Amino acid sequence: MLFHPFEIALCGYSGSGKTTLIAGVVRQLSEKYKVGYYKHGCHQFESDKEGKDSWVVRQAGAATVMISDPEKKAIITNDSTPSPGMARYAFADHDLLLVEGLKELPLPKLLLVDGERKILDLLSNGRVSNVAALVVPDTPAFYADYNLPVLARNSISDVTEFIETLLFERAAQMPLCGLVLAGGQSSRMGSDKALLHYHDDNQLLHTAKLLQQQCTEVFISCREDQAERYRHFGVPLVTDAYFGIGPFGGLLSAQQHRPNAAWIVVACDLPFLDPAHLSQLCSQRNPFRFATAFRDTASLRFEPLCACYEPKSRRQLMLQHLDGNNSLYAFLQESRIQAIPLSETGVLQSINDPDGYRAFTRQKYQ
């Protein structure tokens, strides 16, 4: 990743049809995704034109200027070197990013072949790398020796499908880890909720086994003082690196432990959760969003403690934490996420007190 977890560059010389192709691809992708576009190397643009306020202030010495109106916003900086940090901030809530230009950077890229095929010289001498496919204006058979997929420039649908497939393949390579949240105080229950038995195993192991059906690795999230109590169950632990902020801190600690993984987070006090709903969460997961979560069809509330948080959510969660807001529910409410409608709300019902535990036990053995 340079600017965005799901990025691809379209590179070619002037006259190779980049703008027409990119506009067509964006038009198709934007039907399903929020698409960002970063053009590098363009000439001075209108908002920085001589005599404009932004130009006057920049001439006065401002290193960076941001301007906005009710419909758009622009950042203008004196730094001519592309800044991944600035681009990541600008495109943080976008699903994917198309970059025009920057053929010298190690972005995955589609190489647009010009009519005279001059750009192929850069490919042959190694001056352009990470080429995923060639986009050509003529007979594909001519390019067989390059051992790359060849796409026709006038087939925008084929190019769009190729980009979408490529990015989904990248998403599939991200590890999917499970996290059993067991770091609470269990004050209302009066005993450790994670060690209660609603099924054959205690909730700690029961939830871990549910997650093991879907995830490459599963961990228990707990406080350091709980570690010795849970260690002998044989499930790896992630102890809190962020203290006193509940499940938010458990997730941040897990993301610190595996920053490139997506995390399926499940609280240990959800005894009604079944394999079918956990499978639904995984199968309907949208890796291009910050998270995927169930949403009650009646109340429209998200459930943050049975949800999948993508790697790109880490930066946003950290910013929210630094702002003093440690609510996962607030994060889901305010972020671009994938919602899964849930009408069977009982499946995510938590049990937090002895009365609830006794009621479950009576019903189970009736």
Q: What does the pLDDT read at residue 162? A: 98
Instruction: State yes or no: pLDDT of 365 exceeds 70.
Output: no
DSSP of 95-133, one letter per residue? SEEEEES-TTS---EEEEPPTT-THHHHHHTTSS--EEE
Whole-structure pTM value: 0.89
Pick the residue with more confidence: 15 or 135? Answer: 135
Is residue 156 over pLDDT 90? yes
- The pLDDT value recorded for residue 24 is 93
CB 296, CB 345: distance < 8 Å: yes
- The predicted-structure confidence for 60-90, as pLDDT tens digits, reads as follows 776 667 777 777 777 776 666 666 677 778 8
Long-range contacts for 356-364 (Cβ within 8 Å, ≥24 apart)? 357/189, 357/196, 360/198, 360/271, 361/198, 364/198
Domains observed in the chain? 7-40+82-172 (3.40.50.300), 176-365 (3.90.550.10)
Of 359, 355, 364, 21, nearest in space to 189 by CA: 355
Whole-angstrom CA distances from 204 to 54, 197, 238 are: 58, 9, 14
The 8-class DSSP code of residue 261 comes to S
Amino acid at residue number 205: L
Tell me what the pLDDT averaged over the chain comes to: 89
Q: Cα(63)–Cα(177) distance, rounded to whole angstroms?
A: 42
Q: What confidence tens digit (pLDDT) does each residue in 163-184 have?
A: 999 999 999 999 999 999 997 7
Q: Which two tokens stand for residue 136?
A: 């050509």
Burial class (CB in 10 A: 0-12, 13-18, 19+), 187: exposed
What amino acid is encoded at 310 in this protein?
E
